[in-house]
Chain A
């Protein structure tokens, strides 16, 4: 059986490369947003707030590429699943970029107040969200079902942390009304981190669909 060298395969490889580039940008922006909070660094905040253009540009370019591949190559089976997954992953990564901006906005407000408390669980959440995002992208590259499953399992942990953050900050707010404003921003940040975990989960689910053709969403 002859295996043809194909222009289409090059296009698929290129698509994968671009998607990884997009993933790298999303990861970097999340990392910076978290650093701006932990280091209380206003300059990093501004860098996140003004640096969304590259990821937005890639978002549009990726969709365009996928759209053309579907129209011109009429892919089937695993090729079709890969492109459909790429379209969806693309959207999730762009949303992660947006959420990094949302986090930076909350950090900017938060930094106008003295610290409410020592941050423990939010950095944990940030670390976990970054690991999930990285793992979901690694799972995509390596077509690794096990790693994708691991991402799905981690989402519960992130949700629990978010609940704990909320409870702790609620206690702060009840003790001291002056902490209400900054506490609300921290709650928002935890909410954004939890959403990033949801997007990483979506990516992992798309990887499972791409590799095994199984739809594991909403289970």
Chain B
């Protein structure tokens, strides 16, 4: 356990694969729920058009960190953020930042699919309408079709767009939520365990979708399933007790991690 004696803040190795530009740049972030510190000194660069996976045991801070990337944490009272988060060089915690605009750029998909209790069509139309993104019905229909196609669910729902979204299967509901997030054309997609409630076939479809989407989006995914992280991501970051222990190319993290803690976690020796 000698690893634990070293200051953890020195243990980050930086995300590999600098082939694409840095989309999200986080420097020295601390995060507090009231007096309790949930994240300590997180520094990481998340690259554009790659999938970055956050892994770590429950309560390690990975979902908390994900939510700091579109200021979703702000809806929880008593939270506080220190440090810097830049997206395309812009400080998202600056007083001048428009949070609604930020969340339009940084979409989010949750663990439990949460479609509105409305028709499939309306689920997608809602965001377009409230954001004033389409000028007329024709344009809106085009955008809805495009989003459903991008989320690989169009063929399954094209003949039943007026049916309730709640009639869809779990996997379909999750892809509808992804379509809903894509409709407002975000640049970044945050996914918090998007497949944890799905069966293997539905999970495979989501993973395949993630692979296709990264051509157009920067994707950050939190997952408890290490095989999933290994399959879908380009880079992986391992969190433990609110700290970023190690981040790097996914194949390196899963075949030859630098830190003993990471190795113990990915080989299932704790967690």
Task: Say if A and B assemble together.
Answer: yes
Partner of B266, one of A2, A8, A77, A213: A77
Cβ contact within 8 Å between B227 and A80: no
Chain B interface residue bracket vs A? 10 to 19
B269–A213 touching, CB < 8 Å? no
Residues in chain A near residue B267, CB distance under 8 A? 75-79
Please indicate the chain B residues that have their CB under 8 angstroms from the CB of A74 in the complex.
227
Cα distance A81–B251 when bound, in Å?
12
- Pairwise interchain contact B270-A1, C-beta atoms closer than 8 A: yes
Q: Let me know if A4 is at the binding interface, CB within 8 A.
A: yes
Contact B263 A77 (CB under 8 A): yes
**Which B86-121 residues sit within 8 Å CB-CB of chain A?**
none
B198 on the interface (CB 8 Å rule)? no
Contact A4 B270 (CB under 8 A): yes
Question: Is residue A3 contacting chain B, with contact meaning CB distance below 8 A?
Answer: yes
Is the Cβ of B270 less than 8 Å from the Cβ of A2?
Answer: yes
Complex Cα spacing A213 to B270, Å:
21
A77 pairs with B255, CB closer than 8 A: yes
A side interface size, CB within 8 A: 15
Q: Indicate whether B249 reaches chain A with its CB closer than 8 angstroms.
A: no
Does B7 reach chain A (CB closer than 8 Å)? Answer: no
Q: B230 at interface (Cβ–Cβ under 8 A)? A: yes
**A213: chain B residues within 8 A (beta carbon):** 255-256
A40 CB to nearest chain B CB (Å)? 50
Known: A76-B226, A76-B230, A78-B263. A4 touches B255 (CB 8 A): no
Contact A81–B269 (Cβ < 8 Å): no
Residues from chain A with Cβ under 8 Å of B263 in the complex: 77-78
CA distance A1 to B240 in the complex (A): 11
Residues of A within 8 A of B227 (CB): 74
Task: Check A77–B270 contact: CB distance below 8 A.
Answer: no
A207 CB → nearest B CB, Å? 15
User: Smallest CB–CB gap between B111 and chain A, Å?
Assistant: 22
Which residues does chain A contribute within 8 Å of B266, judged by CB atoms? 76-77
A2 CA to B270 CA in the complex, in Å? 6
The residues of A that contact B262 with a CB separation of less than 8 Å are 77
Are B268 and A8 neighbours in the complex by a CB distance under 8 Å? yes
Determine whether A218 belongs to the interface, using a CB cutoff of 8 Å to chain B.
no
Q: List 6 A-B contacts (CB under 8 A).
A: A77-B257, A78-B267, A79-B267, A80-B255, A81-B255, A81-B256
- The 6 tightest CB contacts between A and B, nearest first, are A213-B256, A76-B266, A77-B263, A1-B270, A79-B267, A76-B254
